[in-house]
Amino acid sequence: MRLAGKVAIVTGAGQGVGEASAHRFAEEGAAVGCVDINGETVRQTAEAIEKAGGRSLAITADISTEDGNARMISETVQAFGALDVLHANAAIQVMGRLEDTSPDDWDRLFATNLHGAARAIRLAAPYMRQRNGGSIVITASALGIVGDPDLPAYGAMKGGLRSMCRSLALSYGPDNIRINTICPGDIDTPLLQEFFDYQPNPETARQEITELYPLRRLATPRDIANVALFLASDDASYLTGTDIIVDGGLLARVY
């Protein structure tokens, strides 16, 4: 029970990595505030955790706004009395090359994928300081390290998260608040299926991309959630300001 007695918030908990992370945190003893803009899916996540014997709270909130972030933190603290872990995971994706990406789409990605995480961290840190420390896990991406011509805005925001992580690790280190990013490759989630559906032949695209991975498979959400659990726990007590690349060996490839 690596998170026994801890209280965590997971954003984007209605599906994919966020849902898996909420379950893993609960399985290891944390009380979990499950946050998503989709009230139905996040309610299902929280109910499944409760049914399995864990403690959880479903919070419907838009983390691209100040109000949404403030509410998710206040409701979690009111329900469970503290805050020790934040998994800033929620993200949206817009397909298209730069010239096809509208200013509104760029601003929308910035508000959710980058500014949303910054808002959450700024509001969560004081509560972690009261607990003499905490862990913040940010879901970035391999696309914050390498490029994709059809995802320039998404990659820019994920690269920004990596840079922000380093600065905040320096700021909050004296408070024993650790901040790290996870940089996954392709994860078999609805967001990835959107990418495949954008291609001329989705099934061919899935097969071709899968074969690029040395492990010959795409990541599951639980693969990433297991790393989030490690970073959230005391097992990672001397890790801060760094990226954990979880890509099945993809970035080891030159050609």
The catalytic residues are 154
Cα distance between residue 23 and residue 32, in whole Å: 9
For 255, counting Cβ atoms within 10 Å of its Cβ (0-12 exposed, 13-18 middle, 19+ buried), the class is exposed
Cα distance between residue 40 and residue 58, in whole Å: 9
Radius of gyration of the chain from Cα atoms? 17
3-state SS class at 246: strand
Cα distance between residue 27 and residue 55, in whole Å: 9
Q: Which two tokens stand for residue 58?
A: 């479903």
